[in-house]
Chain A
């Protein structure tokens, strides 16, 4: 079946003319049509755009002008601006916003010939860990429709897990690619800060935000990430470092690989079965020639509170652009300018977004700046130093992606702190700007869980190699969520 194929397999089939881009695009659009009513993984399906792009891709393939991604379908998280297509960011605020330009990520993948199927659901402004804060309703996890797919890239994760798209883009500010990838049983890659352009990616917390991929496996992530990455003059923090061939090094030997396991990741908050799955994965790595070393990173314990000062502070500043004047939601009949600002924002933003703007405004306000914001920036430095120190002794870090498998819808919505703690193992990576990957490593109560791999800055090639070798030995990433998705 076409939809079960990976990006690499679709690419080969298109080159071999086993099917056309129009054929697979039609097939996936019809799957979205029939299966997505239960999942709600798409906010907008761009069928006409997709079929036109697929026809153009078929011409490129016929004329011998195709690259490896030409004609391969993709879904974009609705945080990426897409020229002529509504870009909502999961918010009522942008429900009527039609982007006048493409994000660099979208433009590069379009140039590579990829076919956009639509825009995926997400937590509002990427603020959430369950995809329940979306204005367009929650996304359901295909492994169990009563559970969440994680967030904020929950739509992208559910769409790939259900094989509605072979790949989807995502963004990760505190775990928003890796956590949903873990809960949906797929592969999620959050690259080094600055590796992928943030231009046209609606900002949440600018010193933490990074775009990446959600795919079936590491090989596909390598193919798509290579096309997305690289310097962009439109992003002032884009790295000029050259992009290596991620695909070229996938099969390198892991003999002698030094794997560090932060003991802080194996705490009492970790579900024992989840821990067992991680330990079994470490055994696989041992059999591939890696050595395992316990490491200690004491400052990681403060990563969640640090994040919940830094990220809301940056968000409160970034989201001040939504004032109801030039784009976005505007309230009815404002009596004056301040009334227009307050009601447009009060009515246009959802509860969690307002909560973070309020938190950010508070920690930046006079009298509290030093105690909260400045102190959080100092603790952030300590966390980054902990990573720098351990990467002198080990090549990669491994641990769980999440404390537990997918939880039920509504289980954590009453208390924001409970929800925030679901990102306890992923947040440190963003604070330090490091690359992180989540790969499926087993099941707990019939729900997938993820193994997290963390590397030093710009070590994506190594992480993908380490992930790929595991996926050559295991088949967790090939499991499908039930017969509906066969």
Chain B
């Protein structure tokens, strides 16, 4: 199965990845060959097999809802360039 350029552009948009004009041809080719490769799974007889999401048979652990971490906002915000008054800055979203 070969993917079209439009399909690949749509997937790139869903994944919020910019793909340049120069890259797109190779991406279409590679993604098509990967999808072709994993297509062999369709032939497997999985009738009433239950899907396996997790390797260990365990249930989600719950914890009591209490404060366990201290406020380290300043430290965490040192990892971005765009901070003002303790807030992260992004391009204007609401006009």
Q: Who on chain B is nearest to A307 by CB?
A: B38
Residues on A with C-beta less than 8 A from B3 are: 362
Number of interface residues of A (CB under 8 A): 71
Contact string against B for A residues 182-211, beta-carbon threshold 8 Å, 1 for contact and 0 otherwise: 000000000001100000000000011000
Interface residues in B20-56 by Cβ distance below 8 A to A read: 20, 27, 30-31, 33-35, 37-42, 44, 46, 49-56
Given A236-B60, A347-B18, the answer on whether A207 and B53 have CB atoms closer than 8 Å is yes
Q: Who on chain B is nearest to A239 by CB?
A: B56
Are A378 and B49 within 8 A (Cβ)? yes
Interface residue SS majority, chain A: helix
Cα distance A328–B80 when bound, in Å? 7
Are B18 and A432 within 8 A (Cβ)? no
State whether the Cβ of A478 lies closer than 8 Å to any Cβ in chain B. no
State whether the Cβ of B85 lies closer than 8 Å to any Cβ in chain A. no
State whether the Cβ of A24 lies closer than 8 Å to any Cβ in chain B. no
Contact string against B for A residues 215-227, beta-carbon threshold 8 Å, 1 for contact and 0 otherwise: 0000000000000
Cα distance A420–B56 when bound, in Å? 25
Residues on B with C-beta less than 8 A from A237 are: 54, 56, 58
State whether the Cβ of A334 lies closer than 8 Å to any Cβ in chain B. yes
B93 to chain A, nearest CB (A): 6
Are B17 and A384 within 8 A (Cβ)? no
State whether the Cβ of A111 lies closer than 8 Å to any Cβ in chain B. no
Are B18 and A372 within 8 A (Cβ)? no
Interface segment among A37-45, A242-250, A335-343, A469-477: the answer is A335-343
Given contacts A358-B15, A361-B15, 8 further A-B contacts (CB under 8 A): A193-B55, A305-B37, A306-B41, A342-B18, A358-B12, A359-B35, A377-B52, A433-B56
Please report B residues at the A interface, Cβ cutoff 8 Å: 3, 8, 11-12, 14-20, 27, 30-31, 33-35, 37-42, 44, 46, 49-56, 58, 60-61, 63, 72, 75-82, 88, 90-93
- Across the A-B interface, give the 9 residue pairs with the lowest CB-CB distance, nearest first: A433-B55, A346-B18, A377-B51, A378-B46, A327-B79, A381-B52, A342-B18, A341-B16, A361-B15
